Amino acid sequence: MPRQVITTDIVIIGAGIAGLWLHHRLNKLGFHALLLENKSIGNAQTLSSQGIIHGGAKYALNGILSNATQAIGTMPARWQACLQGQGDVDLTQAKVLAKHQLLWSKQQLASKMVSFFASKALSGRMQTVAKSDRPALFQHRKFKGALYQLDEPVLDIPSVLEAIAKPWQDRILQPPNNANITWQKTGEHINAVQMGDEFEIQAQQFVFTAGQGNQTLLDSLNIKTPKMQLRPLQMVLCKAKDEQHALPAIYAHSLGSGSKPIATITSHFDTNGNTVWYIGGNIAEQGVGKSLAEISQEAQDLLHAILPWFELPELEWSSHNVNRAEPKQSALSRPDTAFVESNNNVHIAWPTKLALAPDLSDKLIEALTNNDLKAGKHSEQHALPTAQFGKTLWDQAFK
């Protein structure tokens, strides 16, 4: 059987939040972009996200506005515009789990930190929550600590993916299983990607947004830089064994004496409507390699410590390992901004945070147009199937 040749303007590889956002915008701008995903839409990092649209407040808990804080500070407003149907991507159908996050300490904060939270530096990003406006969990008489509201929404990621992907899903394609990926080149210029003996996709430019898979793609082209780093997490999940005593919904960072949250808790819902607490923060970073029994006991002890007034129901526990894939930094530190590096007509990208997907898309569109991208006409008739959406973590983790 002769190889089927498909043409397009841009090939994007990797249908996580970065690839989807870029794919949507390019097609909306009139370019023909194909997005390739060899597993499922949102697979790996995106569907492992807590759905927090960070505005940088948690990176400023040491009283310093870092580069990371400033780089991400405009992102909540950018996403809010999309949620209202006024942004680059229409997210009006996406589900908002919480309009704001909370930050709490079970003790009163030091006056220096209180002053910083009230300063112009964080004006509009953070405000004290009056006792009468506190969620029920924090209205208990034994809660004597501080509670702040962060201007950072939490989104239901599966609904976000569906909103972004649906308009152009016929251009989100799944290559044949286990197809060997090879490249056609003229000098250092990539002309086409071949998938086994069956398919060839010709394009002007190629974008890698495959997260951890970017390294394999770079190796296949013998591109030496950028190099990738992986920062692993073991996230913790819990839910009530008895659905009649479900956990309350909470979207909050627990603050201790250090400059990082002790724990970040978001709430999600399985197919039965039972609330699942998804716990990140220090416990996820320090829990890598620990057994489920060990990390779940540590998590239970932590919940008792940070919510001592709340009586936990009998809980079912699980954990989830995820690698944060990023451009390599010294000492495996966290990158401050979205990352794009171009190698001729190949563009390698990592958003580094879910919230930075719009910013990454801006940078990639600039790189593509600076590389003389032209809109062409291409057939939609081909034999490749469309990629399907990945399953939610909440319905898989406890099986």
399: in domain: no
| For range 359-366, the mean pLDDT | 97
Closest alpha carbon to 85 in 97, 94, 72, 74 = 94
- ∠ Cα 212 278 77 (to 5°): 75
- Indicate the pairing of strand 33-36 with strand 10-13: parallel
Do residue 143 and residue 235 come from a single domain? Answer: yes
Tell me the backbone φ, ψ of residue 138, rounded to 5 degrees.
Answer: -105, 15
Do residue 28 and residue 105 come from a single domain? Answer: no
Q: What tokens does 395 get?
A: 């319905």
Cis peptide before 308 (omega within 30 of 0): no
Q: Give the chain's mean pLDDT.
A: 91
Domain CATH code at residue 343: 3.50.50.60
Q: Which pLDDT does position 156 carry in this prediction?
A: 98
The single residue listed with the structure tokens 């009006």 is 92
How many domains in the chain?
Answer: 2
Do residue 240 and residue 97 come from a single domain? Answer: yes
CA distance 53 to 151: 9
Both ends of the chain: CA-CA distance in Å? 42
CA distance 349 to 87: 22
Instruction: Report residue 93's pLDDT band, with 50, 70 and 90 as the boundaries.
Output: very high
366: in domain: yes
218: in domain: yes
Q: Which pLDDT does position 117 carry in this prediction?
A: 55
Distances (CA, A) of 354 to 52, 79, 187, 307, 345: 8, 11, 35, 28, 25
Domain CATH code at residue 73: 3.30.9
Do residue 125 and residue 240 come from a single domain? Answer: yes
Do residue 10 and residue 120 come from a single domain? Answer: no
Helix, coil or strand: residue 398: coil
Q: What tokens does 217 get?
A: 């793609």
Q: Please, which residues have CB within 8 angstroms of residue 142's CB and are 6 or more apart in sequence? A: 308, 309
CA distance 125 to 190: 44
Q: Kind and range of the H or E element at 44?
A: none
Q: Which pLDDT does position 109 carry in this prediction?
A: 59
Do residue 315 and residue 169 come from a single domain? Answer: no
Q: Which pLDDT does position 112 carry in this prediction?
A: 47
CA distance 263 to 64: 20
CA distance 253 to 105: 9
The single residue listed with the structure tokens 């009530």 is 240
- Indicate the pairing of strand 181-186 with strand 172-173: unpaired
Residues belonging to the chain: 399
CA distance 118 to 153: 20
Distances (CA, A) of 5 to 23, 84, 179, 381: 21, 40, 15, 11
Q: From start to end of 1-68, where are the E strands?
A: 4-7, 10-13, 33-36
Q: From start to end of 77-141, where are the E strands?
A: 96-98, 101-105, 126-128
Range scoring the smallest mean pLDDT among 75-89, 102-116, 213-227? 102-116
Q: Which pLDDT does position 8 carry in this prediction?
A: 98
Q: Please, which residues have CB within 8 angstroms of residue 196's CB and are 6 or more apart in sequence? A: 176, 179, 180
| For range 239-258, the mean pLDDT | 92
What is the identity of the amino acid at 41?
A: I
Domain housing 27: 4-46+160-227+329-391
Do residue 215 and residue 238 come from a single domain? Answer: no
Is the distance from CB of 339 to CB of 350 less than 8 angstroms? Answer: yes
| For range 227-255, the mean pLDDT | 96
Do residue 92 and residue 219 come from a single domain? Answer: no
The single residue listed with the structure tokens 């719009």 is 358
pTM of the model: 0.94
CA distance 290 to 3: 48
DSSP one-letter code for 319: E
Is the distance from CB of 262 to CB of 254 less than 8 angstroms? Answer: yes
The domain boundary, picked from 291, 323, 355, lies at 323
Do residue 148 and residue 246 come from a single domain? Answer: yes
| For range 262-275, the mean pLDDT | 96
Strand partners, 320: 235
User: 18-37 pLDDT, tens per residue?
Assistant: 999 999 999 999 999 999 99
What is the identity of the amino acid at 67?
A: N
Instruction: Report residue 116's pLDDT band, with 50, 70 and 90 as the boundaries.
Output: low
126: in domain: yes
Closest alpha carbon to 32 in 384, 376, 382 = 376
The domain boundary, picked from 323, 351, 382, lies at 323
